[in-house]
Copies of this chain bind each other. A is one copy, B any other.
Amino acid sequence: MTSSVTEICRRAAACAPGLARLDGGTKDAALHAMADALLDTAGDLAIANKEDVAAASSQGTSRTLLDRLTLTSSRLEGMASGLRAVAAQGDPVGEVVNGWRRPNGLTIEEVRAPLGVVGVIFEARPNVTSDVAGLALKSGNASVLRGSSIAMNSNRAIVGVLRGALESSGVPIDAVQLIDDPSRSAALELMTAKGHVDLLVPRGGAALIKSIEDNATVPYIIDGDGNCHIYVDESADEAMAAAIVLNAKTQRPSVCNALETLVVHESKAAAWLPGVLDELASAGVEIRGDTRVTETWPRAKSATQEDWATEYLDLVLAVTVVSSFDAAVAHINAYGTANAEGIVTGDLSAARRFATEIDAGSIFVNASTRFSDGAEFGYGAEIGISTQKLHARGPMGLRALTSTKFVVWGEGHIRN
């Protein structure tokens, strides 16, 4: 049974004030019930997911997308443990973020409050359903989920299980709703449900983001591309740099925090770079380099201007050799997408300057960019990774799903 998107959003908005008042104990019990229910119904969920994967496979879906779509048992366990990790965190609602007393005796408190209704449009990954539902519930919000048609069976099954768990926990089932209409017009209806949706997060590619930017009338946060860089500085530990580059490029190349361009200080070009490129090539990575790379390592293809701006999401790596720290920063700020950027260095001043001068949501010093992730940050799950500057930047957890209000306490104060 398909409800209209606006009707779904209205139901979400109607239950939002009640969710905002739920105590933390009730929310945490519901989160554990949701985790239990996912594991208890693992067989059914696998069947639903296999249907999606088989249909997608037969349509010639890319390896990247099939990887995202597949709900392995370890991913399902990850979803359940993510919900439990969300439950283990403190309740963000009611947190006093800031507070002070004015010279006239007024006491001002800045208090965290839920947003209301959080909508998420996402593509293949079915695990997004429980991540979003769990974080939204814990932060006192209702969630409206709109997955892609490719994962519709999986999403329906997961959301059904989650709603059953809500019901048994005494939480309104409309706290988590799925838009199971895969049409473009349904997505547009969600983007323009002004007054019913307090935050919309698009988790998808450039086409989805452009559609949001062109059409959305509800507030949104862009979960954008990850054209991620690692800069290997003059003073980098060479073994550490090699391990981080290998990890960032090959451990899961299809995700937005994977490495896309390696930036190497010229002092590392001759002695260090060829060995790393050999290792990357052995791992199946295609190398596209500038002339200083191809001179050192002739198997590299020549990189074009386009390569510097490309998020491959695949086993391809662009490589550039730079003459200075400043040139590395300039390259990264010019081509980066403000998602995750890394430096490998032994020089404290270089690390501090990189952290200050690089304009990005997350900056990694001597660590793989693959840690730009809500779960790795300790959020249990993530609502997405913000590549914008307002409201939230970088991996978004519970706090990104809240607003604050000022509560000002007086004793009859009037203004002169």
A interface, CB within 8 angstroms of B: 17, 20-21, 100, 102, 106, 108, 111, 113, 115-116, 198-199, 213, 217, 219, 221, 237, 240, 243-244, 246-248, 251, 351, 355-357, 360-368, 370-372, 376-378, 388-391, 393-395, 403-416
Contact = CB atoms under 8 A, between A and B. Distances in A.
A396 to B, nearest CB: 11
A93 to B, nearest CB: 9
B355 A415 contact: no
Given A244-B413, A393-B405, 16 more contacts: A17-B357, A21-B356, A106-B371, A106-B376, A198-B389, A219-B388, A244-B414, A251-B416, A351-B409, A365-B407, A367-B408, A367-B410, A367-B414, A368-B415, A390-B391, A393-B406
Given A115-B389, A198-B389, A217-B213, A394 B413 contact: no
A113 B388 CA distance: 13
Given A217-B213, A390-B219, A247 B407 contact: no
Contact of A251 (B243, B403, B414): B414
Contacts of A405: 355, 360-363, 393-394
Contacts of A100: 378
B217 A390 contact: no
B415 A247 contact: yes
Contacts of A243: 412, 414
6 contacts: A247-B414, A362-B407, A366-B409, A366-B410, A367-B414, A391-B391
B219 A413 contact: no
A372 B106 CA distance: 12
Contacts of A409: 351, 365-367
Most B-side CB within 10 Å, residue of A20, A102, A368: A368
A239 B371 CA distance: 59
A122 to B, nearest CB: 20
Contacts of A355: 111, 405, 407
Nearest to A240: B412
A28 to B, nearest CB: 20
Contacts of A356: 20-21, 113
B415 A251 contact: yes
Given A356-B21, A391-B391, A394-B406, A376 B415 contact: yes
Nearest to A355: B407
B360 A108 contact: no
Contacts of A408: 362-365, 367, 371
Contacts of A411: 240, 366
A360 B413 CA distance: 20
A371 B413 contact: yes
A404 to B, nearest CB: 6
Contact of A413 (B115, B213, B367): B367
A376 B367 CA distance: 44
Given A371-B408, A403-B393, A415-B368, A377 B244 contact: no
Contacts of A251: 414-416
Contacts of A213: 217
